[in-house]
Structure 1
C-alpha cells in the first residue's frame, strides 16, 4: 500500500507492506530523504509508531494514510557531522560545485550562487529531490540536504525557451497496481515537456485506463499534476507507478 510521509510542510509517498516493520520504513526514509534513523519519530494522529512493531500492529495505517515525520537531531550526529559540505548546483546546461555550511539558509545559498555564477537571485527557483526550497530563511539541513546533494536551479522568466533545453522524446513504462489492470506494464512515449496531466489524459483518451481519479509515483514520490516530466527528473526507461485515488498535498 501507499502511505504519505509528511515533513517540512511537504509530502512524500512510499510503498509499504502490510507487515512492514516501523524500523524498515525509517530505513527507507533515511535512504530517500537522508534523515538518520535515530533522528526520526513517526506518528499517526498523535500515536507514535514504535520501532519494535510493524504495520500489522497499527490497523489505523491503511492506503493513503498520512504519517507525520518529526526530525530531532541527535547529539552524536551533531558531533560527527562536519559543518561544511560539498553540494552540486545544476542548471539546465551546466553545473557548479559549492561548499556550504549545514546551517546556512536557502537565501544564503542563493546569494552564493549569484556571486559565483551571476544568476539574479529574484529569478532563482531551487529544488531538492523534487521539492522547492521555497522558504528563504530555513536552514539547508531542514530540507534534508547533506554531503554531495544535488540542487536543481530553475529560472523564472517570460521566455522559458531561453533557459530550458529543447523538448526530447521519452520512452517510459507506466506500471499499474495489482488492483488496477492486474499490475499491467504499459509502454508510453511522450515529450519530457509533457505534464502529468498530459500523461493522464493520454492514458484516458486511448482507453488504456478506466475513467477514475489517479495519482502517479516516480521514484517513490507523488508527481505534481501541472509539472512536466522533465521537472520530475524522469528519464527514458523509468517506471511511473499509477494508483487509483487522490492525495491532498498540503502546501506546495
Structure 2
C-alpha cells in the first residue's frame, strides 16, 4: 500500500510561503563552522582544523528556561545557534514558534536528550557543546539524504557537509486497511534514490501531502505535513515540517539524489 499520510484540509494553517522560507533559510547557507578569516587561507591542514573549531560562534545559554510561546533576545540567540548548527528554526525573530520547537526536537534527538521541546539545563549544556551528527556511512555520495528512523531525524548532505538536520515522523507500525487492501505502516529501510518531485499539495488514495520528493517510485516520499509529532505516526512516508518542506526539494536533485534510510 502507498505509504502516504492522511491530512485534513483544515490543518493547513501552518503552511508558510515559500518565499518567506527561502529568506529564512539564509542562515543555513552562511552560518556554521567554516573558518572565514584571511589566516585560514594560508594555514596548514592542522591549523585549519583548529580554525574550524575556533570559528564556531560562542553561545551563551539563556538564564531562563525557554519553551514554545516565549519571546526575547535569548530566543533569537537560540534560533541563531540552531541555524549555525544546521537545524532550521525559521526566521531569527525572537519568537519561539512551531518552527523553532521542531528544530529543538531535532537537536534533542541528535544529542540523546529528552525530546520535550523545552530548552532546560540539559539542552542548554548541549547547545554549548553539541554532539556532531555522525554519518551512517561516509562512503556514500557527497550529496545525499540520511534518515535515521531510530533517532527520528533526517540529515541532508551537500558536497559532503551537513546542510540541514530536521525532525521527522515516519511509519507508525500500526495495521491499516485502504482500497480493499491492508498493510502495516512501515517505512522501508535501504539505499534508494529520489525519483520525482511533485509541487504543492498532492492528493493520493490515503490523503494529501505537501511538496513530496519520492524515493521509491511514486509510493514512498519525503513530504511536508501539518502534523509532524515526536512519535512515528505516518503510513510509511517520511514527514518533515511544513517550513522545511517549502524548500527541501530545492536542495536535492530529482531524480538521482541518494536517500539512505536506516535504524
Greater C-alpha radius of gyration: 1
Q: Looking at secondary structure, tell me which structure has more strand per residue.
A: 1
Q: Looking at secondary structure, tell me which structure has more helix per residue.
A: 2
**Structure with the greater relative contact order (CA < 8 A, sep ≥ 6): 1 or 2?**
2
- Fold conserved (TM > 0.5)? no
